[in-house]
């Protein structure tokens, strides 16, 4: 009798947990108070997402480089990932073998332009590359990224994906 009651209680708990609505995290595209349109990302959201991704992508040490690249790849389009996969593997090996670290900091707000199929974002800042404790170089760096909207998911609540990235440097 006790076992039957326990089984029914556990079954009821399991049914409750599986049918209970899960919380959804979203960045709203409010056009007015109380109105939010799905699949709409305001420029400020695009700027925050891109700045966060680039800062994660370009700030690493030999101990963190694998995790940094693994996290960044979640937000890259399959086409971009196929283009960069071999290079990323080579970069990780070089960072670890030469004890290289990278640090990038923004020196102005991201510039976001809407395009027909997404967004173009330009970020500029200063990038330092270090070998151990020694500074190899510090240079002005500009990242240009092209993004497109996708359906938001649990792992990508922004609903944005990186289609292309380029980097320009100057002293």
User: What gap in Å lies between CA 99 and CA 80, rounded to an integer?
Assistant: 27
Pick 120 or 39 by higher pLDDT. Answer: 120
Report CA Rg, the chain: 22
Write down the residue that tokens 């990186």 correspond to: 162
- The predicted pLDDT at position 40 comes to 65
Those residues whose C-beta lies under 8 Å from the C-beta of residue 26, and which sit 6 or more positions away, are 36, 152, 157
Compute the average pLDDT of residues 126-145: 93
Q: Which domains does the chain have, with CATH numbers?
A: 41-170 (3.10.450.230)
**63 pLDDT above the threshold of 80:** yes
**147 pLDDT above the threshold of 80:** yes
Name the residue among 104, 105, 95 with its Cα closest to residue 132.
95
- The predicted pLDDT at position 28 comes to 55
**Percent of the chain whose predicted confidence (pLDDT) is above 70:** 88
- The predicted pLDDT at position 133 comes to 86
* CA distances in angstroms from 76 to 36, 42, 110, 160, 165, listed in the order given: 26, 20, 19, 9, 10
**29 pLDDT above the threshold of 80:** no
pTM of the model: 0.74
**Percent of the chain whose predicted confidence (pLDDT) is above 90:** 57
Pick 70 or 157 by higher pLDDT. Answer: 70
Q: Locate the DSSP E strands across 15-133.
A: 30-32, 35-36, 100-106, 111-115, 118-131
Helix (H, G, I), strand (E, B), or coil: what is residue 51?
Answer: helix
Give phi and psi for 60, each to the nearest 5. -155, 165
**33 pLDDT above the threshold of 60:** no
- The predicted pLDDT at position 55 comes to 94
- The predicted pLDDT at position 158 comes to 82
- The predicted pLDDT at position 76 comes to 93
Count the alpha carbons within 13 Å of 81 in the hemisphere toward its beta carbon.
12
Token pair for 170: 């100057």
Compute the average pLDDT of residues 5-18: 91
Specify the range with the lowest mean pLDDT, choosing from 62-76, 89-103, 146-160.
146-160
Compute the average pLDDT of residues 31-45: 62
């Amino acid at each position: 009798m006790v076992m039957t009651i326990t089984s029914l209680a556990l079954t009821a708990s399991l049914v409750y947990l599986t049918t209970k609505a899960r919380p959804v995290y979203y960045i709203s595209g409010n056009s007015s108070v109380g109105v939010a349109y799905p699949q709409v990302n305001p420029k400020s959201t695009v700027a925050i997402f891109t700045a966060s991704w680039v800062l994660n992508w370009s700030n690493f040490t030999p101990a963190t480089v694998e995790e940094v690249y693994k996290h960044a790849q979640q937000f890259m389009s399959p086409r971009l990932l196929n283009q960069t996969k071999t290079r990323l593997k080579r970069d990780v090996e070089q960072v670890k073998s030469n004890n290289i670290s990278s640090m990038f900091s923004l020196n102005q707000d991201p510039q976001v332009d809407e395009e027909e199929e997404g967004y173009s974002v330009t970020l500029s800042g200063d990038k330092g590359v270090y070998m151990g404790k020694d500074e190899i170089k510090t240079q002005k760096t500009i990242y240009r990224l092209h993004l497109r909207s996708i359906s938001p998911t649990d792992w990508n609540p922004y609903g944005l994906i990186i289609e292309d990235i380029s980097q320009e440097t100057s002293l």
